[in-house]
Chains A and B, each alone.
Chain A
Amino acid sequence: MSKDDIPIALCDEHIEQTSARPSTHQDDRTRGEATKRRVTQFKKFHALNGTLFFALCVIHVVGIFFFTKGFLLTRLILDHKSTCDAPPVNVSRTNGDSSTVEGCWYPRKFNKAVIIVIDALRYDFTVPFLPSEIDKEARQFHNAFPILYDTAKTMPKNAFLLPFIADPPTTTLSRLKGLTTGTLPTFIDAGSNFAGTAIEEDNLLAQMRNLGKTIVHLGDDTWQSLFPGYFHENLSHPYDSFNVWDLYTVDNGVTSHLMPLLKSHNGTQWDYIFAHFLGVDHAGHRYGPDHPAMNDKLQEMNNVILHIMEAIDDTTLLVVLGDHGMDSKGDHGGESDKEVEAALWLYSTRPVFGRTHADFVLPPVNAKIRPIRQIDLVSTLSLLLGLPIPFNNIGAPIEEAFSQRNGPEWRALATVNQIAVHQIHKYQAKYSEARNLNLDPDPHQNALYESALSLLELDVTTTKNDEARFKEAYLALRQYEDAVLSLYRQLWANFNVGDMAVGVIILTGGLVYLSAFSAWKPKMNACILIPSNLWSGLAVFFSISQSAGFASNSYTIHEDSILLFFLTTFGLISCTSSLRQSEVSDRQLGTMQSIFFTLLTRAASFSRLCREEQMPGCKSTFYASSNSSTSAPWQVFLPFIIAILLPAFIKARYKGTASYFGPAGFWLGFCFRVGLLLIAIYWVLDAADNGGWLQQAVSFETLKKASLTASRCAIVIAAFVGSITIAQAKPCIDVSLARQKPIEGQVGDNTRQAKPAVIILGYANVHGKRYLLLLPIFILLVSVLLPPMGQFSMAICACQILCLLEILDTNGLTISMSTSSGATTAIGPTILAILGSFHFFKTGHQATLASIQWNAAFVPFRTITYPWSPILIILNSFGPQILCAAAVPLTVLWKRPISKNPGWMEEVLRDVMWAMLAHVSYYAIIQLATTMWAGHLRRHLMLYRVFMPRYLMSSALLVVIDVVLLVVAWGVVRINTLSIGEVMGY
């Protein structure tokens, strides 16, 4: 313990004052008025600075808004609709099969269709497992769903199975839009995922409805929000889609309603059925693909499909498709290979399908071979079912569906593609007109179009059916379709550079405002961004060099290693600096804490959740394995160890300065422990539920109730008891009377020594120890939402904050601008920000959309509950950063000496505001850098995988940090200072 920590203060003056001078009413009144004036002045100052900080938040939000508006892609939606009686090109309506001549643009092959969407059906779930170097043994998700592959193999004329590549973002809502309109999603579509809006543009279902068909929908209720009023009301049964912990309700409901409809006597009630199963997706989200639950689920799907195959008649088309895949731990949303590789399977009891080549009979062994695009489904289904192709479609008909059963029939293929191409051409003309764009500058593309058409023109004039010529025409049409598609891919990646520039300028302005604000009041040389000593230089160096690194995808991907590198570098430099301190206690404490800080950083780095781009060479340890999203059994013990050690560790700090008084005992000694214990119990119950440990003894429902109770109690303790403690607590000090010993070197008269002295215990850290009571609230709130490994990381984060504060104190780096010896260095707040960012990665997150832990929303609730669920997700995702932001005022308050200056309270506020600005400057610099890089690299191959998610994350984070600093840190400092003023004198 440092000499500065001497926990007592001798206040003999006070005694003398009160005993020597009997107070009069006059005195009381004047003193009361002075106090009141001081408090008012303090509150005014607080409000003024709070407002100025709020202005900074506003600048951030406005800047982010402008950039996002220009950056996130939008697509103009055309209102045109295709109609049955106006085909884009007249083709001969009779082909070889004269039995089916009905149909709008092309003779239809099926009257009815059952379209089964199995959410997150990845392609490798459906094909037999082949041992490879990466996967030597079959996992739980392998070989559990063989029916699709088997039928395609044994009955190639009745069925085919193909990899079905989704266009990112791989969220269900934007995928359903793509699957029904046949057009590419743009990011704005994905933005409305949680509040699905009706599709306005022409689509497959609208065409069905226009022809007076009855459409039935079962399962995921996203369909209802996309297509309101499209479905038959009595037959349709939507189910809530976001309760990812429920693996059975949706699927059982769909199956139980689907099977009766397929019975022959019900066959006239419907034309098309859309059934959307969610179990596979939910099993992936909850457990990850490599879990027995996934195996069960896939086998269940296998049986369901088998029963449907038996039930349908020969005019019904059966389609099974995955809307997207899932990454190795079962989540999706991004554009990694595993997330976009879904499966598509078409089946008919009649032999109607074919292949263009003998090698194509077997389904591809992996999704890299002969993949088709998801937008291709719309034109395929339209033509198979005799519907007009939706106006906005830019997909091409699938080859297998139109190759006739006896060898390739090039004529049919050329014809269906001719229809599709003409429709695309029409769309292109309208789109070009609507947007005032000249869309056909590409001569190559025009040449393809012309040559294909000329080959088909010949068809009209010559009577001879030349297969080779049709083949040539077909291939030319396919090339044209590919060219159009790539044109639109580019076009819809069209950014509004003007808006983006405005956004960047505003955000830069925010940074200028921030540095001006920081330099304004206290001292002119206190500007955060202009370093004045080694430590400030270090802080700026960390922020700037990391920002520069975001220009490279490698440094964005390996951000966690960089943060580890920075934190340990700080630890080593502070260790060196500690050794220079002249006070022995400072030197020892500082060195010890620096080493401890460094080792803790390294210890936390063993908790990792790798992103796909980090592989190979990265081993995930956050969950039981890299293919799961549940914790390993041994990890269940971690929360208990934390519940024992962490409160003891914090308590030791209070004892160290003799501050373990007043509210500290109840809140830290009792509530915090109980809260952590409840969290540990919750995660044991969760593990028991996931692992099926107590299946015989306790019912699922009891288990669920018990775990809900545990988590809710923990949250109540944190939120309510914690807030009341913070609001009402007196400073952690105690007073005792003692006979004063003579102090060496003090020239005192003998009479004084005889008097008893008041000893104030906990005097050395009055400010800090009271404010520190805030942190357990956030430790509890965040820990309850994180899996055990995340709690381990949070506990380390909390310990590191305490180490950091001791390091700052022993090296004279706590912020205090009012005294001559005080430091103005941003290192403390900056290291806190880096620490928070580091633990973001250590709590199982990455800067990707897929790494959001949606499960956190179901810790205290059974279903999605607004507005709490989004708040829980934010707490789970940015928990470490929020904790560190809440700790920022401690870099000012920690062991801050009690000042007797009038106006010491404003000094505290001024210093805290400076610390907050220093803290937010790290996030603002990172945000500005990621924004600029995302804008600059908007044509980069890795934009959507790496740069855009990082930009989204830093923008969201900046706003969250702004709010936490303003509401929590700034608010609690007010309460804290007033409470200390009340005891120590304003």
Chain B
Amino acid sequence: MSRSSLSSIPPSPPASERKDPRLLTPTTNAIPFVSVKHVRYYSTLHTVAVAVLFLLQFRALVADPYRIMLWDLCLLILLQSAYCVACLPATGTWANTTTHSSGNEAAGSGSGKLNKGSWVGSMRKRPAGLGRSGAASGGWKGKATPTIIALALAMLLPPIPLTVLAHVLGAPLYPIALILNTAVLSLHVSLLTCMPLFYSHGVSGPAWRDIIAAWLPFDEPGVWGGSVGCFVGGWLGAIPIALDWDRDWQAWPITVLVGCYGGWAAGKTLLGPIFLKGRRIDMSVGAEHEAIASHPDANTADKKSR
């Protein structure tokens, strides 16, 4: 790529402070736990509960994928809603983005991103005027509304692009009935990954730009770790389908669904709570960036992002 095609114009301003001058600076902060006692235990319990309930249904799932997937979906809605309410800060109740005037010009503060402490969004209420400070006053009502909105958003918006995504990657188009299975699969993925994100980040533009660019930091509750794990797991889940073992469970989309749940549970437990806390997936190639890329943790992030 050509840095600058105008040969007489000097190169762009000195970039000594930047990570990679080509890239924007991600502004989204990591989601913190709500400050309630034992919330960490509940979070772990939630992961285990979802995984166990899914495994219990596995035999029935193989027998009748479509019906059981719908049934599982209902369970998942309840569990995820409870999890969001119990563990995560609702949108508007925490500072989810670092305020920059614009990503492009925020080069100077980019280095600050690596400082410990600055990556977690604070639980401080955002200054009034930035939105629902009223709703953030805690209490049942203040939690229920964002949950319902997040649920509705997660059920309506992402499933369509996710279905397209699955088909682009090679999901079967005929028999036509399988398209419905794929659609339900994407509902599952959407609930696992997008619902907590909608709950905590709302519909904030910068946050969702970072989400689509896979650029969120790995957070302590494991929301982002679970999301990354879900996609990686689903990707890996497609692999056994091609084998000629003639097993029932090789039918579309069982393996992918298993991969999604497995990846989600693993990612939620490991990425964020244990590894890579506060780090982001690194996709740069620039020479200046090598120092960061060679950090062991960052390398793990590289692998996971596939």
Q: Are A537 and B23 in contact (CB under 8 A)?
A: no
State whether A582 and B21 are in contact (beta carbons under 8 Å apart), knowing that A534-B282, A822-B287 are contacts in the complex: yes
Question: At the interface with chain A, which of B43-51, B210-218, B264-272?
Answer: B210-218
User: In the docked arrangement, what's the CA distance between A569 and B165, Å?
Assistant: 10
User: In the docked arrangement, what's the CA distance between A334 and B21, Å?
Assistant: 56
CB distance from A976 to the nearest CB of B (A): 17
Q: Are A825 and B285 in contact (CB under 8 A)?
A: yes
Question: At the interface with chain A, which of B4-12, B111-119, B134-142?
Answer: B4-12
User: In the docked arrangement, what's the CA distance between A569 and B235, Å?
Assistant: 9
In the complex, what residues of A have CB within 8 A of residue B290's CB?
532-533
In the complex, what residues of A have CB within 8 A of residue B293's CB?
532-534
A580 at the interface (CB under 8 A from B): yes
Specify the chain A residue showing the minimal Cβ separation from B10. Answer: A746
Specify the chain A residue showing the minimal Cβ separation from B289. Answer: A533
Question: At the interface with chain B, which of A79-87, A214-222, A547-555, A777-785?
Answer: A547-555
Q: Are A553 and B286 in contact (CB under 8 A)?
A: no
Specify the chain B residue showing the minimal Cβ separation from A560. Answer: B170
Specify the chain A residue showing the minimal Cβ separation from B299. Answer: A537
How many A-B pairs have beta carbons closer than 8 Å: the answer is: 151
Q: Are A821 and B242 in contact (CB under 8 A)?
A: no
Q: For this complex, into which size category does the number of interface residues on chain B fall?
A: 35 or more
State whether A821 and B287 are in contact (beta carbons under 8 Å apart), knowing that A554-B243, A569-B235, A581-B22 are contacts in the complex: yes
A564 at the interface (CB under 8 A from B): yes
State whether A555 and B242 are in contact (beta carbons under 8 Å apart), knowing that A565-B169, A895-B1 are contacts in the complex: yes
Q: Are A746 and B9 in contact (CB under 8 A)?
A: yes
Which residue of A534, A553, A599 has the most chain B CB atoms within 10 A of its CB atom? A534
CB distance from A316 to the nearest CB of B (A): 50
A764 at the interface (CB under 8 A from B): yes
CB distance from A580 to the nearest CB of B (A): 5
User: In the docked arrangement, what's the CA distance between A813 and B23, Å?
Assistant: 13
A605 at the interface (CB under 8 A from B): yes
A763 at the interface (CB under 8 A from B): yes
Encoded as 1 (CB less than 8 Å from any B CB) or 0, chain A from 358 to 395 comes to: 00000000000000000000000000000000000000
B8 contacts which of A12, A536, A808 (Cβ < 8 Å)? A12
Q: Are A580 and B24 in contact (CB under 8 A)?
A: yes
B170 contacts which of A565, A599, A814, A894 (Cβ < 8 Å)? A565
State whether A582 and B1 are in contact (beta carbons under 8 Å apart), knowing that A565-B169, A568-B169, A812-B286 are contacts in the complex: no
Specify the chain B residue showing the minimal Cβ separation from A619. Answer: B174
In the complex, what residues of A have CB within 8 A of residue B302's CB?
533-534, 537
Q: Are B168 and A580 in contact (CB under 8 A)?
A: no
In the complex, what residues of A have CB within 8 A of residue B235's CB?
569
User: In the docked arrangement, what's the CA distance between A348 and B164, Å?
Assistant: 66
User: In the docked arrangement, what's the CA distance between A809 and B1, Å?
Assistant: 5
B305 at the interface (CB under 8 A from A): yes
A6 at the interface (CB under 8 A from B): yes
A577 at the interface (CB under 8 A from B): yes
State whether A599 and B22 are in contact (beta carbons under 8 Å apart), knowing that A532-B290, A576-B213, A580-B213 are contacts in the complex: no
B59 at the interface (CB under 8 A from A): no
In the complex, what residues of B have CB within 8 A of residue A571's CB?
168
A896 at the interface (CB under 8 A from B): yes
B215 contacts which of A580, A583, A808 (Cβ < 8 Å)? A580
CB distance from B171 to the nearest CB of A (A): 10
A688 at the interface (CB under 8 A from B): no
B16 at the interface (CB under 8 A from A): no
B55 at the interface (CB under 8 A from A): no
In the complex, what residues of A have CB within 8 A of residue B7's CB?
9-11, 763, 898, 900
CB distance from B277 to the nearest CB of A (A): 20
User: In the docked arrangement, what's the CA distance between A765 and B284, Å?
Assistant: 23
State whether A4 and B4 are in contact (beta carbons under 8 Å apart), knowing that A565-B169, A812-B285 are contacts in the complex: yes
A572 at the interface (CB under 8 A from B): yes
Encoded as 1 (CB less than 8 Å from any B CB) or 0, chain A from 6 to 33 comes to: 1111111100000000000000000000
In the complex, what residues of A have CB within 8 A of residue B23's CB?
580-582
In the complex, what residues of B have CB within 8 A of residue A553's CB?
244
In the complex, what residues of B have CB within 8 A of residue A7's CB?
5
User: In the docked arrangement, what's the CA distance between A537 and B286, Å?
Assistant: 15
User: In the docked arrangement, what's the CA distance between A743 and B8, Å?
Assistant: 10
B288 at the interface (CB under 8 A from A): yes
CB distance from B59 to the nearest CB of A (A): 24
Q: Are B5 and A4 in contact (CB under 8 A)?
A: yes
CB distance from A366 to the nearest CB of B (A): 24
CB distance from B194 to the nearest CB of A (A): 16
Specify the chain A residue showing the minimal Cβ separation from B1. Answer: A809
Q: Are A552 and B5 in contact (CB under 8 A)?
A: no
State whether A577 and B283 are in contact (beta carbons under 8 Å apart), knowing that A582-B103, A895-B1 are contacts in the complex: yes
Interface residues of B in 1-52 (CB under 8 A from A): 1-9, 21-24, 26
Q: Are B8 and A13 in contact (CB under 8 A)?
A: yes
Q: Are B24 and A581 in contact (CB under 8 A)?
A: yes
User: In the docked arrangement, what's the CA distance between A896 and B1, Å?
Assistant: 6
B100 at the interface (CB under 8 A from A): no
CB distance from A486 to the nearest CB of B (A): 26
Q: Are A812 and B1 in contact (CB under 8 A)?
A: yes
In the complex, what residues of B have CB within 8 A of residue A581's CB?
22-24
Specify the chain B residue showing the minimal Cβ separation from A810. Answer: B1
B306 at the interface (CB under 8 A from A): yes
Which residue of A537, A541, A599, A894 has the most chain B CB atoms within 10 A of its CB atom? A537
Q: Are B1 and A598 in contact (CB under 8 A)?
A: no
User: In the docked arrangement, what's the CA distance between A306 and B294, Å?
Assistant: 80
CB distance from B107 to the nearest CB of A (A): 9
In the complex, what residues of A have CB within 8 A of residue B284's CB?
533-534, 812
User: In the docked arrangement, what's the CA distance between A763 and B290, Å?
Assistant: 31
In the complex, what residues of B have CB within 8 A of residue A822's CB?
287
User: In the docked arrangement, what's the CA distance between A339 and B278, Å?
Assistant: 61
User: In the docked arrangement, what's the CA distance between A808 and B1, Å?
Assistant: 8
Which residue of A538, A557, A821 has the most chain B CB atoms within 10 A of its CB atom? A821
Encoded as 1 (CB less than 8 Å from any A CB) or 0, chain B from 151 to 190 comes to: 0000000000000010111100000000000000000000
B286 contacts which of A573, A599, A821 (Cβ < 8 Å)? A821
Q: Are A579 and B170 in contact (CB under 8 A)?
A: no
A602 at the interface (CB under 8 A from B): yes
User: In the docked arrangement, what's the CA distance between A437 and B22, Å?
Assistant: 70
B145 at the interface (CB under 8 A from A): no
Q: Are B3 and A579 in contact (CB under 8 A)?
A: no
User: In the docked arrangement, what's the CA distance between A583 and B12, Å?
Assistant: 12
User: In the docked arrangement, what's the CA distance between A582 and B105, Å?
Assistant: 9
B238 at the interface (CB under 8 A from A): yes
Specify the chain A residue showing the minimal Cβ separation from B293. Answer: A533
CB distance from B301 to the nearest CB of A (A): 9
Q: Are A598 and B5 in contact (CB under 8 A)?
A: no
B104 at the interface (CB under 8 A from A): yes
CB distance from A660 to the nearest CB of B (A): 17
State whether A4 and B3 are in contact (beta carbons under 8 Å apart), knowing that A534-B302, A541-B306, A812-B285 are contacts in the complex: yes
B295 at the interface (CB under 8 A from A): no
B303 at the interface (CB under 8 A from A): yes
State whether A812 and B22 are in contact (beta carbons under 8 Å apart), knowing that A6-B6, A533-B285 are contacts in the complex: yes
B209 at the interface (CB under 8 A from A): yes
In the complex, what residues of A have CB within 8 A of residue B282's CB?
533-534
Q: List 27 A-B contacts (CB under 8 A).
A: A4-B2, A6-B6, A7-B5, A10-B6, A12-B8, A533-B289, A533-B293, A534-B283, A534-B284, A538-B306, A541-B306, A555-B243, A576-B283, A579-B209, A580-B23, A580-B24, A580-B283, A581-B22, A582-B24, A583-B22, A598-B168, A743-B9, A809-B1, A812-B1, A812-B286, A821-B288, A823-B286
Beyond known contacts A7-B5, A897-B3: 14 more, CB 8 A cutoff: A4-B1, A6-B6, A533-B282, A534-B283, A541-B306, A555-B242, A555-B243, A557-B242, A579-B213, A581-B23, A743-B9, A746-B8, A821-B288, A822-B287
Q: Please provide the 7 A-B residue pairs with the shortest distance between their CB atoms, ordered closest to farther.
A: A579-B213, A897-B2, A823-B285, A764-B5, A558-B242, A809-B1, A534-B302
A residues with a Cβ closer than 8 A to B are 4-13, 532-538, 541, 552-555, 557-558, 561-562, 564-565, 568-569, 571-573, 576-577, 579-583, 586, 598-599, 601-602, 605, 743, 746, 763-765, 808-810, 812-814, 820-825, 894-898, 900
